[in-house]
Amino acid sequence: MKKCIVLFTVMLLLTTFVWAGGQGEAAVEEDATAVEAEGPVSIDFWTTQTQSDRMATIQVLIDTFEALNPNISINLVAVDENELATQLNTAAAAGTLPGMIESAAENAVAFGSEGLLNEQAITKVVNDIGKEKFYAGALRLNETASKGSYYAVPFHGWVQGLWYRADWFEEAGLNPPSTWEDIKKAAEYFYQPDENQYGILVGTKAEAYAEQCFTQIAMANGAQLFDADGNLIFNSPEMKEAVEYYAELAEFTPPGPQSWRARDYYLQGKMAMFFYSTYIMDDLALEENAADSLSSENFSDLEGKSFDPQLVQNTRLAATISNTQDAGYGTIVSFGIPAHGDQQKIDAAQRFIKYLFTPNAYITWLHMAPGGMNPVLKDIATNARFQNDPKGIFQHYGAEKMAEIIQGLDAIETFSIVEGKRMADASTIYSKQIIPQMIYKITQQGMSVKKAMEWAENEMRKVM
């Protein structure tokens, strides 16, 4: 009786969601999940969404899936991302691998390269959903060395790019800042330090933000840390050009070593462009979120300003930067199926993943972190229900701008994955903040690019 009541409630909720969202298009057919498995099966699902509120939302999705698939049960297990590799290897040794895992794409490629993931099973999921429905870059980060197969299926991600004052650019007759040439031209044009106005924000402090800004610029010039064989190729002509260009942009940034915090200049109308992820979307749209950046507490040269409700309308994102090639930057979170060899559990995991890609389930998951979790399926980016997030953030942007923002997933790149191979040393180099330290030496201490790059390469070799 209890199961019948749950099933009725779930079907009622699904009907309500479809009506409210005006769902005409479907990422995956919803009724395809409502098929009974051959005999009862239980799988563990390891999620890295460890916050209690997110766990509760995921559990609701699991309950819905179980009501539609009575012979499948999903056991939700929270695993810290930093502990995932250790726990997965331990489970493999003990023969207790979970049925499904969630992890960053870089980790999924590492696990797959070690033989811990079932690439055939997950490739079937990708093909069933349809490769053409995904943003290409998000898929590429999960691809194996042999093109066309995948270690994991991308599920969501955040995008970084250059947020800019579109109204200023239009008034000045400048192109959007999507190429090296146009970015530098605009940074110089809007740089008016005597009026406390700056052209651009790039990180110059020795911390992660500087590396995030730099990576996208370097990738746009085809620069890499490693080749496909794992050889360090940092001190290349392409990388040198990128470092020199970054140093030039830093001249148009507020003085002193700067981090993400200098976004305050933009929110107070004193900056033309700044690198940031889609996590800034709520700050631009909602007064209560912007409050922290509108005071004079963080920077003595900023007087503070009231919230500008037009700023979000006057802001656009150049999600892809190009010089010799297009480059996006961000993080992708993916689902993998461990290589446990149990076909019944494989079938159950495949069915559950495809259920999570159905529009209502998918959007419910994405709305746990509006702006931080963006869809990897193109159709969802302009979906009416997706844009109706609980905080009312996306309505300030509209369908066209949302698609433009999320488009960055098409060209997303990383130093950590080269031709389907995970470069473990890239993570070590990142953790030691070698590139941010190099940037600091150049922009704040006056070291030459040549000497700073030689120092950085030497430090990289030490930790490899």
> Largest alpha-carbon pair distance within the chain?
75
Any idea what DSSP says for residue 168? H
pLDDT tens digits, the chain, 464 residues: what are they? 333 434 434 443 443 333 233 333 445 554 444 445 567 999 999 999 999 999 999 999 999 999 999 999 999 999 999 899 999 999 999 999 999 999 999 999 999 989 999 999 999 999 999 999 999 999 999 999 887 899 999 999 999 999 999 999 999 999 999 999 999 999 999 999 999 999 999 999 999 999 999 999 999 999 999 999 999 999 999 999 999 999 999 999 999 999 999 999 999 999 999 999 999 999 999 999 999 999 999 999 999 999 999 999 999 999 999 999 999 999 999 999 999 999 999 999 999 999 999 999 999 999 999 999 999 999 998 899 999 999 999 999 998 899 999 999 999 989 998 888 888 899 889 989 999 999 999 999 999 999 999 999 999 999 98
Q: Give the C-alpha separation, 316 to 166, whole Å.
A: 6
> From CA 189, how far away is CA 385, in angstroms rounded?
40
Q: Are residues 183 and 287 in the same domain?
A: yes
**Same domain (yes/no): 63, 35:** yes
Q: Do 322 and 449 share a structural domain?
A: yes
Same domain, 175 and 278: yes
Would you call 310 exposed, middle or buried from its count of C-beta atoms within 10 A (0-12, 13-18, 19+)?
exposed
Q: Amino acid identity of 229?
A: D
Q: Are residues 306 and 383 in the same domain?
A: no
| CB contact at 8 A, 228 and 208 | no
List all residues 6 or more positions away from 74 whose beta carbon is below 8 Å from its beta carbon. 42, 43, 45, 62, 65, 66, 99, 352
Q: Which residue has the tokens 């107070």?
A: 268
β-bridge partners, 162: 275, 318
Q: Specify whether the CB–CB gap between 398 and 289 falls below 8 A.
A: no
Query: What CATH code is carried by the domain that includes residue 21?
Result: 3.40.190.10
Q: What is the secondary structure of 130-163 as a DSSP string?
A: -GGGB-HHHHHTTB-SSTT-BSSEEEEEEEEEEE
What's the gap between Cα 204 and its chain centre? 22
Does 27 lie in the same domain as 147? yes
Q: Is 165 exposed, middle or buried (0-12, 13-18, 19+ CB in 10 A)?
A: buried
Do 196 and 294 fall into the same domain? yes
- What are 113's two structure tokens? 């390269």
Res 39: pLDDT: 74
- How far apart (Å, rounded) are the C-alpha atoms in residues 31 and 15? 12
In this structure, the answer to whether residues 395 and 444 fall within a common structural domain is no
Q: Which pTM does this prediction carry?
A: 0.88
Give the pLDDT confidence score for residue 208 in this predicted structure: 93
Which SS3 state, helix, strand or coil, does residue 391 take?
Answer: coil
| pLDDT given for residue 422 in this prediction | 84
Tokens describing residue 156: 């969501």
Residues 391 and 434 in one domain: no
**Phi and psi at residue 440, to the nearest 5°:** -60, -45
Question: What's the number of domains the chain is made of?
Answer: 2
Contact 141, 105 (CB under 8 A): yes
Q: Same domain for 54 and 115?
A: yes
**Beta bridge mates, 179:** 322
CA distances to 32, 138, 335, 338, 441 from 417, in Å: 34, 12, 17, 20, 27
Residue with tokens 């997933």: 409
Parent domain of 184: 159-328+420-463
pLDDT of residue 31: 43
Q: Answer with the one of 411, 431, 449 that is the final residue of a domain.
A: 411
What phi and psi values does residue 36 have, to the nearest 5 degrees? -75, 135
Residue 370 near residue 394 (C-beta atoms within 8 A): yes
Whether residues 81 and 183 share a domain: the answer is no
Q: Which of 274, 282, 254, 266 is nearest to 391 (CA)?
A: 282
C-alpha–C-alpha distance, residues 69 and 37, integer Å? 7
Instruction: Verify that 74 and 88 share a domain, yes or no.
Output: yes
Contact predicate 351/130, CB 8 Å: no
Residue 288's CB is within 10 A of a number of other CB atoms, namely 10
CA atoms of 248 and 252, how far apart (whole Å): 8
Distances (CA, A) of 349 to 124, 125, 337, 421: 12, 10, 7, 25
- Asked if 316 and 404 count as a contact pair (C-beta separation under 8 A), the reply is yes
